Structure 1
């Protein structure tokens, strides 16, 4: 049985409304994308996917509820009414934060997990990955507000770096701006490091906080040596930053959804908070 599945009783749906095309299998509802029929020995049973999921009918031998964006619902446009919880318009799905372009929420059974794209990136609602903020029209106002106190040097002003240069953020030791042909994009150093200004304007690199005057206490009481060891361990285990090992007590996401490149790419370029 696929995760996020809800069953309806026989009293609610008459079996004679559906004739099983095969004795055993799973078959899409004619008009409702999140509904389907489970047939066993020729007897149909009406079932519903979790709220926000849809039945993927590519293989009638598999009971597979998938994210709505991964299923073609053109011929089955009807859906159950949305059930919402904080940060989750539906109980299942991946949703942008309405106030912060860099944040998105992964919802599973109404439980919201917050993810933040790395500095300078924002959640792209169309491709469902973290993308450059200047490539997302909905994020223009937020990007302009973030960069209102910074402007790239004029063309030819920095002869040593050419059209590419790096500049410190005016408020955050970890973040910095990259200018390419006069266009500014915000970057962030890896956690555990901060941006160190180079010997010439337009140069710089990520470095240990102890090597950057004024940023020595950026990470407060965080034990950076222990943190780096834990990150190395997570990398060896194949886990994302902020991730966790699979649990047998939690429903697994639909097989096709976890393999979906868009959903995976979003998680790969984001940090769970």
Structure 2
């Protein structure tokens, strides 16, 4: 009886293995998805089938209706459908799998692009954070994983009625960086940066200000140090970057002069 049970078990394993590993090529040449595994596929050459496995963290893209494309892509980019099985994760530092894009465990504005287990660090622009679901950088206050102290560097918007600027929209200088500033929208702070070659100038009224030339902002004249601002502005103008005014360009600083002391912020220059 015992030997009979063993025969049945071995037979079942063989049938399972044959069903998993055997494949009849529909054509002489092509690449075909596995019936159950999203990271496996069949390569047919001269009507001979070979089972292939994508890199750990990649999945086979079966969207080519002619089955002539051999393409393994990030799992989140592939519609696996009923092909739900995946190889077990192989992790390295900052990488849940050998291939993929993964959030940082400590900082919500940092993410890692992993390729064959090697992680490259990326950081979102000021005021943004990496959204794990959408896998893009979004406003930090819209990313649930961000702690309060990480959103806009911990800056807190003034309470309603505390600033003379009426309405729900106001601008506020960064305490340490002349180029950066905060926008408060309905009590929610978002960090911005002025276009390269300019710094934030506080306006006459509380909660106002604009990006201006450093020489027009007391205390921030030497922010860019010895950089050739005329060449920088010309390059940005030719590239069409200045037209946006969004301030999300790559930070370029010289000596990085700190924001002038609060007493100097009330200088009578208009910047409405």
Give the alignment's TM-score, normalised by structure 1.
0.70
Query: How far apart, CA to CA, are the structure 2 residues paired with 1:52 and 1:120?
Result: 29
Does the residue aligned with 2:145 lie in a helix, a strand or coil? helix
Does the residue aligned with 2:80 lie in a helix, a strand or coil? coil
Query: How far apart, CA to CA, are the structure 1 residues paired with 2:78 and 2:148?
Result: 32
1:89 aligns with 2:96: yes
Query: How far apart, CA to CA, are the structure 1 residues paired with 2:182 and 2:56?
Result: 41
In the alignment, which residue of structure 1 is the partner of 2:116? Answer: 109
Residues matched between the structures, number: 226
In the alignment, which residue of structure 2 is the partner of 1:243? Answer: none
In the alignment, which residue of structure 2 is the partner of 1:34? Answer: 39
In the alignment, which residue of structure 2 is the partner of 1:152? Answer: 157
Q: Tell me the CA shift for residue 37 of structure 1.
A: 0.8
Cα contact 2:25–2:44 (8 A) shared by 1: yes
Please show how residues 193-204 of structure 1 align to structure 2 within 5 Å.
Answer: 193-204=198-209
1:173-230 CA-to-partner distances (Å, cap 9, x unmatched) read 2221111222222222234432111122111112233332223343445444454555
Please show how residues 241-252 of structure 1 align to structure 2 within 5 Å.
Answer: none
Higher relative contact order (CA closer than 8 Å, sequence separation 6+): 1
Q: 1:45 aligned to 44, 50, 54, which one?
A: 50
Alignment RMSD (CA, Å):
3.1
1:61 aligns with 2:68: yes
Cα contact 1:116–1:270 (8 A) shared by 2: no
Query: How far apart, CA to CA, are the structure 2 residues paired with 1:39 and 1:271?
Result: 47
- Structure with max Cα Rg: 2
Give the alignment's TM-score, normalised by structure 2.
0.70
> Structure 1, unaligned stretches of length 5 or more?
1-12, 237-268
Query: How far apart, CA to CA, are the structure 2 residues paired with 1:83 and 1:176?
Result: 42
Change (3 A) 1:134 1:37: same
